[in-house]
Amino acid sequence: MEGPSSVSLSLSPVFSPPYRREKAQPSSPKLFKLPLSLSLSLLLLSLSAREEARDVERRRKRKAVVTGVVRLRFSRNTFFSMGGGSWFSMPHLFEMGCCGCFSFLGKLAKPQYPYMVPDSSSNFGDNLLQDSMYSRDGSFYSNGGDSDFLQDTDENGLPRPMIRRSEEILQQWVKSGLICREVPVKDTDTAIFSEDENGNKMVNEYVRQHKIGAGSYGKVVLYRSTKDGKLYALKVFNKPHLVKLRVTPSETAMTDVLREVSIMKMLDHPNIVNLIEVIDDCKIDKFYMVLEYVGSKWVSDDSGALSSLEESTARSYLRDIVSGLTYLHSHNIIHGDIKPDNLLVTGTGRVKIVDFGVSQAFEGDNDLLRRSPGTPVFTAPECCIGVTYHGKGADTWAVGVTLYCMVLGCYPFLGEGLHDTYDKIVNNPLVVPDHINPLLRDLLERLLCKDPSQRITLQEVATHPWVVGDMGSIPDCICTCRRNSTKEDEPA
């Protein structure tokens, strides 16, 4: 290489351009001086081809191990080839942060743990408290397979019909008109970019204010509407990035985002954040979700540090959480990531549930799951040990952890790392200080019961003496679809 304007590459005579030849040793390949742009293009093409070959090899090896065709026996210090002359050790594989296809290696390399060891990718590492939207994609908790829901068995042990995927269920609900919203979400297929008189960037009617958060899927930006003057939170996604980011062997991050949109288009509840508009212009790479803006959380600062609440405030917040989550479960929706960061508080003190990026839909009463993409410290014990679990019970456990955080300002089970945290969740007893209200202690112990079959249900939580307190029972929200069905059932 003679200067910044050129790069020397080794090429066969077939691809040799008519440029001046450089002197070369007889034993060395012939070198030609190429323009920088052409050299970089060839280099990127070569890297792309190699990466594609590696992806094919990764999927082949993962499929072989999962199906039992190949039994791998190796230690953390074993080196093996991934093609193209590249060799990797076990620690290297753990640091690659790929689509999660190496999650099985953790289980093989750490057989002494009694619970599942997910792929300890550097994408989350020890970030056990991070929000799935703002800081990671949640994809590295998949236990494998193409569907989150499993085939269940009946009371006689006979298999029930195979469960359909969430996307198929949601499509059927739309066709059947099972939508709670009286005002539909606005679908916009054109994005117009401009600036206002102050030079602020605009997307259609929305004027950019500042960024709220960012993560693996995209970012959240605060915008103000020029039509009504209200603030809105816009989730901004890069469509090519979503398509390339794989979360299961057959699904990409785009699948999760589109499922989130489909779910939110159906929901209408005072304790669930409202989706206003979807902007999807096929001519651009950006995808926008326009959400109502709720400005505050009950965490004390931007670092995510928790602050304990007065018992009366915690009771009020819990009632809102239970109301919103009961609504979701009654509509066959599993949230999958209940935690303080996904619970926003309005100026009037009402809690709204946000972030449906890992939510799932189910049919009938079969909420059996195997993919656990939630936040580690809020993960239920049955999710940590790598077995199938019921989504509603896992959501209820997360409510218990959230309540514990609200009243005590700390987490009930938090280790020094992912493995240690999962070990504490599965094996450590719940510690509740002696000064806690006995009724509150009883509720915490029943919410954080490690046996999911003995864990309290949300319906029981709603009638628990501590929850009722002096506020009365939680009012039942009659949604639009239930009102419509009630009218249809009424005699003419």
Instruction: Indicate the annotated binding residues for ATP.
Output: 235
State the binding site.
Answer: 235
Strand, helix or coil at 352? strand
d(Cα 69, Cα 58) in Å, to the nearest integer? 15
- What are φ and ψ of residue 35, in 5° steps? -60, 150
Residue type at 78 in one-letter notation? T
Q: In the annotation, is 337 catalytic?
A: yes
DSSP string over 388-407: -EEHHHHHHHHHHHHHHHHH
Dihedral sign (CA 87, 92, 95, 99): positive
Q: For residue 367, which of 332, 338, 400, 412 has the smallest C-alpha distance? A: 332
Strand, helix or coil at 454? coil
Q: Which residue bears the tokens 């068995």?
A: 153
d(Cα 404, Cα 398) in Å, to the nearest integer? 10
Residue 357 near residue 133, CB atoms below 8 Å: yes
Dihedral sign (CA 76, 81, 83, 86): positive
Which residues pair with residue 348 across a beta bridge? none
Catalytic residue among 280, 337, 341, 367: 337
Active site residues: 337
